[in-house]
Amino acid sequence: MLFTQGDMKILQLIRKLIRLEFDEPIQLRDRDVLNQISKYGAKSSSDRINHLLDQILGGERKVGTDKAETLKVYRGTKIDCTAESSLNQETRKKPLRVYRGQVVN
């Protein structure tokens, strides 16, 4: 399972909280890291671990809602950033890589 950057930050925080409470290190490279964390979350008396665990497992977090609901504010005026990002993605090209005056792939 691949995690986003925000999910990785939450996982790091959960790891730190579990290490403080149970004195057990959890490795993120393990395949069953979510199972280990959920077991410690069930044993934990901390509500913060359970709340963060719900965010990771999808209790409160839904894929794609972050980008659709974000609005940029420019001088007090709300700007729809989804239209701008789609235009930027269409016009964005792969940058040329130049090494010693030669274009390389």
- Mean per-residue pLDDT for 78-90? 61
Query: Hey, is 10 helix, strand or coil?
Result: helix
Helix (H, G, I), strand (E, B) or coil at 53: helix
| DSSP 8-state class, residue 96 | P
Domain ranges for the chain, please list them.
Answer: 5-57, 67-104
Average pLDDT over residues 69-89: 65
What one-letter code names the amino acid at 33? Answer: V
20, amino acid identity: L
d(CA 52, CA 21): 15
Higher pLDDT, 98 or 88: 98
Which pLDDT band, with edges at 50, 70 and 90, does 99 fall under?
very high
Question: Tell me: the pLDDT tens digits for 14-71?
Answer: 989 989 988 988 888 888 888 888 888 888 888 888 888 888 877 544 444 444 455 6
Distance CA(12)–CA(5), nearest Å, equals: 11
